[in-house]
Chains A and B, each alone.
Chain A
Amino acid sequence: MATTAFEPRIVAFFCNWCTYTASDLAGTARLAYEPTAPVIRVMCSGRVDPQFVLKALQEGADGVLIGGCHPGDCHYQEGNYKTLRRFRLLKRILSQFGVEDERVRLEWISASEGDRVQHVINEMTDQLRKLGPWHARS
């Protein structure tokens, strides 16, 4: 029986003003990290509709990562507070749906924290490898 090693797929929604810039910085600084998280750039973490997260899981993602500016630093003032409130409520719903805590993550990463992008994606990839795919393991 052939088994292919499971490689998690993470959908990353990064805010244009901070986390996306940080991932750019990680690139120019040639920080190596897992190629598991294609990034979708959004103008603010507050743009991430909870439906996007569920849709990603439904369509086969094993995890979802949302990156935004640190509290107080949102380019649109309040966007990331809204994100935090939605996220805390979404997490409660996800756990009722049986989604493990590690699969959906929110991180505040400023434009200068390229190493943090590297660390978070590596760590999350590792955790998801242990958890296995989101869709029915048979």
Chain B
Amino acid sequence: MAEKPKVAFYWCASCGGCEEAVVDLEEQILKVVDAVDIVLWPVALDFKRRDIEAMPDQSIAVAFINGGIRMSEQEEWVHMLRKKARIVVAFGACAHLGGIPGLANLADRRRIFDTVYREVPTQEGQPGTFPQESSEPDGNRLALPAFWDEVKALDQVIDVDYYLPGCAPPPKLIWGAIEAILTGALPPKGAVLSPNKACCDDCPRKDSKPDKIELTEIKRPATHVADPDLCFLAQGFVCLGPATRSGCGNPCIEGNMPCRGCMGPMDDVFDQGAKFLSAFASILAPKTEAEIDRLLDQIPDPVGTFYRFSLPKSLLHRRRPGATV
């Protein structure tokens, strides 16, 4: 029997949800296991770095990498996987766009360390004890990976062949990608493996989205209960559907939560947050600066809301280092 294609799964700055998404393939996972040889999957199987290092270059058919990149060790791993694999797939919003960990790009390493190791009330031990890249307790040298000032999406670190969007990617798309890879029926390099149309196009509420909306109030799921049938934008909730790629199956909408944009932008959009901002500002009613500002005060964290999953891949990538405003 011919050798089965080798597949690697790896995780970087991630939450584990993308691993869960693979398990969510349910019985289809057995088909995957039948068809391929999994050579790396840290969450489920015990492989060591040296096992992968020992493999010939290009010997892995496909590496699925999830999570953002924020530490030197993750960078080393993805460079190695790039060498060993013929196809690299950025798996999930964090690898695709920077994702939730990428929101840390509003701060920097110092700010994060200060908060986590000095200021949080639940800090135990000696506040202000920071992780050291190198230390020598009792004469033994210990090393930790370097923690970067910013989080990067996978393609800001290595060349990426395909993107599986979503937080986490829906099983249907994962299975579709695996099938396409196994049968060689792949789209051109660089493709996002999900339909290039807006989330609104597939939304069960789209017929209730009026042509013209004029909002005088902005609502939040934390403070208002949404009508279960009407378009969220028409109700005054921030819903990123118009600026987000479809293919997720609209689970949030089904659960009466507005879309937060995890599938990322459509092709040809440089900046998902600005794209949404533009559409959203158009449906606000006020015409004077004071009234507009009063309405906008109802969005406490616009970057966190519009760039929830895409800050590292936004045009500006991050808050400017050393900014004073």
Interface residues of A (CB under 8 A from B): 49-51, 53-55, 57-58, 71, 81-82, 84-86, 88-90, 92-93, 95-101, 134, 136
Contact = CB atoms under 8 A, between A and B. Distances in A.
Interface stretch (B81-89, B224-232, B315-323): B315-323
Contacts of A98: 319-320, 323-325
A108 to B, nearest CB: 11
A49 B279 CA distance: 10
Interface stretch (B30-38, B121-129, B160-168, B267-275): B267-275
Interface of B: 106, 269-271, 273-275, 277-278, 280-282, 284, 286-287, 289, 292-293, 296, 299, 301-303, 306, 314-316, 318-321, 323-325
B278 A86 contact: yes
Nearest to B273: A93
A86 B281 contact: yes
Contact of B302 (A49, A71, A81, A92): A92
Given A85-B282, A86-B281, A54 B274 contact: yes
A97 B301 CA distance: 12
Nearest to B293: A88
A57 B316 contact: yes
Nearest to A53: B274
Contacts of A81: 287
Given A88-B289, A89-B296, A98-B319, A50 B106 contact: no
A51 B271 contact: yes
B169 to A, nearest CB: 26
Given A88-B292, A97-B316, A97-B319, A49 B303 contact: no
B282 to A, nearest CB: 5
Contact of B325 (A53, A89, A90, A95): A95
Contacts of A86: 277-278, 281-282
Nearest to A100: B325
Contacts of B277: 50, 86, 89-90, 93
A60 B286 CA distance: 33
B289 A84 contact: yes
A92 B289 CA distance: 13
A57 B315 CA distance: 9
User: What are the nearest 9 A-B pairs in CB distance?
Assistant: A98-B323, A98-B320, A54-B315, A86-B281, A85-B281, A50-B274, A96-B303, A58-B315, A51-B274
A55 to B, nearest CB: 6
A99 to B, nearest CB: 7
B307 to A, nearest CB: 8
Nearest to B287: A81
B134 to A, nearest CB: 26
Contacts of A82: 281-282
